[in-house]
Each structure stands twice: as C-alpha cells, then as structure tokens.
Amino acid sequence: MRFNPKARIDQSQIETRSGGGGGGSRLPIPMGGGGKIGLGTVVIVILFVVIQQFTGSVGGGGDAATTNTCQTGADANRSDACAVDLFTNSVQDYWRTAYPQQEKGAYEPIKTVRFQGSTNSACGQADANTGPFYCPNDRKVYLDSSFFKDMLEGQLGAKGGTFAIGYVIAHEYGHHIEDQLGVLGRIKTTQGPKSDSVRVELMADCLAGAWARGAQQTKDADGNAIIEGLTQEDVKLAIDAAEAVGDDRIQKRGSGGVNPDTFTHGSAEQRVRWFDRGMTQGTIKACDTFSTDKL
Ligand SMILES: [Zn+2]
C-alpha cells in the first residue's frame, strides 16, 4: 500500500509533544499534580514551537515528530510519524461512518498524542518503553513514533511495514470504541486466558480488522482517498505484527516459558484470528468477545 500523496493530513486530530530531537534540548512538559492535561500543556507546546522557530536549532534533523510538518500523504509515505497521523485520520473516518450505522449515537472523535521521549497522560507517565496505549481518563491515544522501529521491529521482531503501523493505531482506537460502548467499565479480571483483559484486547484486534476491511474507502476532509493499493502482503504485515505482540510470543522472548495464567492480551494465534474475524465480518457485533467462550 501507499498513502495517496494528495491526501491531506488533518492535524486537528493530532497532538505532538516533543522532548526535543536530541542534543540536550530536552524540554520536559510540566504537569499539574493530578496529571490532568489542560491549558498549561497547550501553552507549553505552543511555546516550544515558537522557541524552535526562533532558534532554528532545537530538535536538530528535521524530524517530523519534533517540528510537526506532516501535511500530506506524500509526507506519510516518507515518515512513520506522518503515517501515524494519516492512519489516525483514516481510522476515525472509518468509525465516523461505521459506528452510527451499527450503534446508537455518533462516533466521538479523539486525538492521538504523538510524543518523543516521555510525556504525561491522565493514566500516568508514558515513555518509549510503555508502548502505544489508549487512556480512558483523558480519552487519548498515546504513542511514541519510535515504537515501530525500536520495539515492534527491534525488540519484538515483527517484520514491520507501513500497514503494521495502521494495525497498531486501529487497535488503540478499538479501545476507544470499547470505551464508547461501555465495555472498558466491565473489566474485572486482568489476567488469565479467559480474563476480561484478554477479551478487551482481542475485541480491539477485531475492531482493527474491521477498519482494515474498510481502510481503502476512507477519505480525507476534501474527499480524497487516503490509502491506495492495499494488498494481501500488507494484510500479512498487520497479521505479523498482531502475532509479534501475542502474550505467548512476548513471554517466550522474555523468560522462555509460556504461562497462559498471566496472559493479558491473548496468544499470537488468538490475536490473528480475531483480527481476521473483524476483517471478514466487519461489524462491532462480530467482535463481541464477551458473549463467547470460544476466544
Ligand atoms: Zn490493547
């Protein structure tokens, strides 16, 4: 696949936070005691951009994450950070249409916080090791765009590829859909093969699959297609990423042994199967992991 070079990135869905691009220019974002993201943060971020423009040197080598220059699909074809932004637009465009067709009410758009270094969320401190996550307390998706090269392809050994980024973003937005549906409030058991936690994660994989099915129909604000030429190979890369983040795979890489009693996300086989189910059936109902014992 590639992004339509003419597709325009809607930056209103993205919040970029930067600790600086290296070289000692790290600027921590101070947060109020409660960790609530408020006006203070916005002011600091704007301040940082202004300082950057005046000094011209902060952040160094033109990384899109530090200067937020992602504007088009052509940028997204060149940069993982810009791909995160455009996938965010694609996933939210998908749900804006698909959600009200299946559920009461409208899809409620949220923001992806793309950060470098570390940042605060209403769910606690996040850094590159945290991995991408959805925070229900402030309803934002958090992600360090170095995750894909350093963690997913590096430590977790996935093949990577652009569509794997899409899978990860769509999985996190799947949690937001679950939040809207009231599913996140039902988590009581957090570990084990039939735990609520595993159900929530597999459901998010399935919802990511539903997006993958409709991804080529998603459009930017001007009506331009966002994604072009999606192939079976791309889908395989998304599936490969889903496998790489399976609990059994991660446990094997860590301790060598596999213990389903401590599963929180589901096995590689389960994650792939639920992603595939979402992709073939394409409905929220088909992704209901709470109404089945066959996980
Ligand atoms: Zn998840």
Q: What is the mean pLDDT of residues 60-69?
A: 50
Q: What is the mean pLDDT of residues 151-176?
A: 95
Output the CA 64–ligand 1 centroid distance in Å. 26
Share of the chain above pLDDT 70, in %: 83
pLDDT over 70 (residue 168)? yes
Answering whether pTM is above 0.85, one says no
Which residue would you say has higher pLDDT here, 152 or 56? Answer: 152
Q: What is the mean pLDDT of residues 117-144?
A: 92
Output the CA 264–ligand 1 centroid distance in Å. 9
* Res. 44 pLDDT band, cuts 50 70 90: very low
What φ, ψ does residue 138 adopt, rounded to 5°?
-115, 5
Output the CA 48–ligand 1 centroid distance in Å. 31
pLDDT over 90 (residue 89)? yes
Could you read off the pLDDT of 205-224 as tens digits, one per residue? Answer: 999 999 999 999 999 999 99
Q: Please, which residues have CB within 8 angstroms of residue 1's CB and are 6 or more apart in sequence?
A: 162, 163, 227, 228, 229, 230, 231, 234
Any idea which of 52-61, 129-138, 183-192, 256-265 has the lowest mean pLDDT?
A: 52-61
Contact between residue 84 and residue 144 where contact means Cβ atoms under 8 Å apart: no
To which H or E segment does residue 208 belong?
A: helix 196-214
Output the CA 205–ligand 1 centroid distance in Å. 8
Contact between residue 115 and residue 41 where contact means Cβ atoms under 8 Å apart: no
Output the CA 101–ligand 1 centroid distance in Å. 24
Max avg pLDDT among 44-53, 246-255, 273-282: 273-282
Q: What is the mean pLDDT of residues 46-75?
A: 54
DSSP conformation letters of 157-182: -----HHHHHHHHHHHHHHHHHHHHT
pLDDT of residue 66: 54
Contacts of 257-261 spanning 24+ positions with Cβ under 8 A: 260/192, 260/193, 261/191, 261/192, 261/193
Output the CA 152–ligand 1 centroid distance in Å. 14
C-alpha distances in Å from residue 219, one per residue of 84, 206, 279: 15, 22, 19
Output the CA 33–ligand 1 centroid distance in Å. 27
* Res. 19 pLDDT band, cuts 50 70 90: low
Output the CA 200–ligand 1 centroid distance in Å. 7
Any idea which of 56-60, 158-162, 224-228 has the lowest mean pLDDT?
A: 56-60
pLDDT of residue 130: 85
Position 52, amino acid:
Q
**Buried/exposed code over 242-252 (b: 16+ C-beta within 10 A; e: otherwise):** bbbbbbbbbbe
Output the CA 173–ligand 1 centroid distance in Å. 9
What φ, ψ does residue 92 adopt, rounded to 5°?
-75, -30
pLDDT over 70 (residue 57)? no
Output the CA 126–ligand 1 centroid distance in Å. 15
Position 11, amino acid:
Q
Output the CA 12–ligand 1 centroid distance in Å. 24
pLDDT over 90 (residue 138)? yes
What mean pLDDT, rounded, does the chain reach? 86
Q: Kindly report the CA angle at 132 between 196 and 295, in degrees rounded to 5?
A: 30
Output the CA 50–ligand 1 centroid distance in Å. 35
Q: What is the mean pLDDT of residues 199-204?
A: 97
Neighbours of 1 (CB within 10 A): 18
* Res. 169 pLDDT band, cuts 50 70 90: very high
Output the CA 204–ligand 1 centroid distance in Å. 6
Output the CA 123–ligand 1 centroid distance in Å. 14
**Spatial separation of the C-alpha atoms in residues 260 and 226, rounded to whole Å:** 39
**Spatial separation of the C-alpha atoms in residues 158 and 148, rounded to whole Å:** 9
